[in-house]
Structure 1
Amino acid sequence: MFDITKLSANETSTVELVGGDDEPLYDDKGARLSITVYGPGTKVYQRAQARQQNLIMDKLKKRGRMDQSAEEKALEQAEFLAACTVSFNGFAYPPAKGLEGAAYFRKAYEDPTIGFIAAQVGAHIGDWANFTKSSAAS
């Protein structure tokens, strides 16, 4: 009998960043800039997703409908991505100097001038394939 747990998803994955022009981003030494994130199979991701869903339900209860501005959506997405981020690799976000952890990451994800980063991380984190271990048979 095949042990299905051999196909368990990895806890984290690394997103190699590209700029708004779809060109790979590198640091001053030529190393790729990237972000490591927790995936959908982790408790960290599941807690962040539950919090996001609870916020939506709270708005529905208060307003009776789900109307959200683009700014509100962007802030909620930034909060979710920050909660799921392990690290920024090869770069810093100076406007968040003095902040740490999720607060630091959230500040970067909220910045519309580098919104292409949040878009990439959001797309990456929502795809189970990015957290799937490669099969030796495939």
Structure 2
Amino acid sequence: MFDITTLSAADTSIVELVGGDDAPLYDDKGQRLSITVYGPGTKIYQRAQSRQQNLLVDKIKKRGKMDQSAEEKLAEQAEFLAACTVSFNGFTYPPAEGIGGAALFRKAYEDPAIGFIAAQVSNHINDWANFTKSSGQS
């Protein structure tokens, strides 16, 4: 019999960043800029997703509808992505100087001027293929 658990998803994956023009991003030493994230097979991701869904349900209960402002959507996405982020690799986010961890990640993901980063992380994190052991991404 085949042990299906040998196909388990990796806990983390690395998102190699590209700019708004789809060109790869590098630091001043020529290293790729990237972000390490937790994947959908982890409890961390599942808790973050559950929090996001609970917030949505609460809003529907309070307002009786699902209307959200652009700012609310951005904040919720930033919160989810920050909770699932392990690290920023090769770069800093100076506007959030003095803070770290999820608070730093959230500030960066909320910044519309670098919104292409949140979009990439969101697309990557929600694709199981990026966390398969055969993908070479982990």
On whether the aligned pair clears a TM of 0.5, the verdict is yes
SS at match of 1:68: coil
Instruction: Give the percent of matched residue pairs that are identical in Structure 1 and Structure 2.
Output: 83
Cα distance between partner residues in 1 of 2:100 and 2:25: 23
Residue 70 of structure 1 deviates from its aligned partner by 1.4
Counterpart code for 2:98: G
Matched residue count = 135
Separation in 1, partners of 2:131, 2:69: 31
Partner deviation per Cα, 1:76-103 (whole Å, 9 max, x = no partner) = 0000000000000000001111111100
When normalised by structure 1's length, the TM-score is 0.96
CA offset at residue 69 of structure 1? 1.0
| Secondary structure at 2:133 match in 1 | coil
**RMSD value over aligned CA atoms?**
0.8
Partner of residue 88, structure 1: 88
2:109 — aligned with what? 109
Unaligned regions of 5+ residues in structure 2, if any?
Answer: none
| Other-structure match for 1:43 | 43
Amino acid at match of 1:13: S
Equivalent residue of 1:134, what SS? Answer: helix
Whichever residue aligns with residue 61 of structure 1, its letter is K
Please name the residue that 1:125 is paired with: 125
Residue number in structure 1 paired with 2:55? 55
How far 1:71 sits from its partner (Å)?
A: 1.4
Residue type of the alignment partner of 1:133: K
Query: Is 2:64 aligned against 1:64?
Result: yes
Structure-2 residue corresponding to 1:2: 2
Structure 1 gaps, min length 5: none
TM-score (norm 2): 0.96
Please tell me the residue identity of whatever aligns with 2:44. V
Q: Is 1:74 aligned to residue 74 of structure 2?
A: yes
> In 2, distance between residues paired with 1:4 and 1:77?
32
